[in-house]
Amino acid sequence: MPFSIALAGKGGTGKTTLAGLLIKYLVKTDRTPILAVDADSNANLNEVCGLEVTDTLGNAREEMRKGIVPSGMTKDIFMNMKLQQAVVEDDGFDLIVMGRPEGPGCYCAANTLLTGFLEKLTGNYPYIVMDNEAGMEHISRLTTNNVDILLITSDTSRRALQAAIRINDLAKDLNIGVSKSYLIINQVKETPSDTILNIIKEKGLELAGTIPEDNEVYEYDLNGRPTIELPEDNTAVLAAYEIFDKIIE
């Protein structure tokens, strides 16, 4: 079974950037190959990783629903072909973008086929990194029914912390089998106050650590540079690595 790590958090807290740093860390520590899964409807993990995506699994579902299957090809073969086309390969990791249906209708048959093919795909990777929306329903779109680590990102704002708490509560309610949840406070300008720490503790969240606000991260993002290419001595990278060292097998 692959070791799966899912990320979630309020928009703007650096969740996808953190997912990229996690992939960078796993490659650096020889925990490869990795399957990176972008399950956010606003998919941009590929930009963080410096990769170009030409197809998604959502497109495959849509084409099958509309009957866009080449003559003489079974639906099983078609979906397998589309799955392989959707995988973007890089050094140490592969990326797949889940996407989402574009129109109304029943996707049951397509989803069933994709589930079977994704089960085979995920079995080839010892580590899976899933970037998700704040809502956790996207995790259920991946075939695995268990998540070893759920990393919830927040900044020091009350709204972001409230979102993190709701995500943690929702994850407990969904049948996705989260083994362990951690909170990471990102973009930190100063040590979190006692008030923030007390809120986290009272709500049953475990703080894995904090990552400082960093101008270099901001500049990479502003200029469209893949943040996965940040230098190893960057303060945010070092802080993220320290957290990952503590929580990942």
Residue 186 to residue 15: CA distance in whole angstroms:
9
* 76's tokens: 């099983």
> What pLDDT is stored for residue 143 in this prediction?
41
Vertex 174, ends 167 and 7: CA angle to 5°?
Answer: 45
pLDDT recorded at residue 137: 61
Quick one: average pLDDT of 130-147?
Answer: 65
More confident residue, 246 or 11: 246
Task: Name the fold adopted by 3-247.
Answer: Rossmann fold (3.40.50)
| Structure confidence by residue, pLDDT tens digits, 69-119 | 888 888 888 888 888 888 999 999 999 988 765 555 554 555 566 567 677
| Distance of alpha carbon 99 from alpha carbon 82, whole angstroms | 13
Question: Residue 26: pLDDT above 90?
Answer: yes
- Predicted structure pTM score: 0.89
What three-state secondary structure class fits 35? strand
Is the pLDDT assigned to residue 31 strictly greater than 70? Answer: yes
- The mean predicted confidence, pLDDT, of the chain is 86
In one letter, which amino acid is 87?
V
The sheet that has 34-39: what strands, in order across it?
88-89, 93-97, 34-39, 127-132, 3-9, 147-154, 178-188, 207-212
Q: Which distant-in-sequence residues (6+ apart) come within 8 Å of 129 by Cβ?
A: 4, 5, 7, 19, 22, 23, 26, 34, 35, 36, 37
CA angle in degrees (0–180, nearest 5) for 158-213-34? 95
Question: Minimal CA–CA distance to 240: which of 211, 220, 215, 219?
Answer: 211
Name which of 61-65, 188-192, 204-208 the model is least confident about.
61-65
DSSP string, 138-194: GGGGSS-S-EEEEEEEE-SSHHHHHHHHHHHHHHHHSTT-EEEEEEEEEEESSPPPH
> What average pLDDT does range 163-185 have in this prediction?
87
| Residue 135 binned pLDDT confidence (cut-offs 50, 70, 90) | low
pLDDT band, residue 142 (cuts 50/70/90): low
Alpha carbon 217 to chain centroid, angstroms = 19
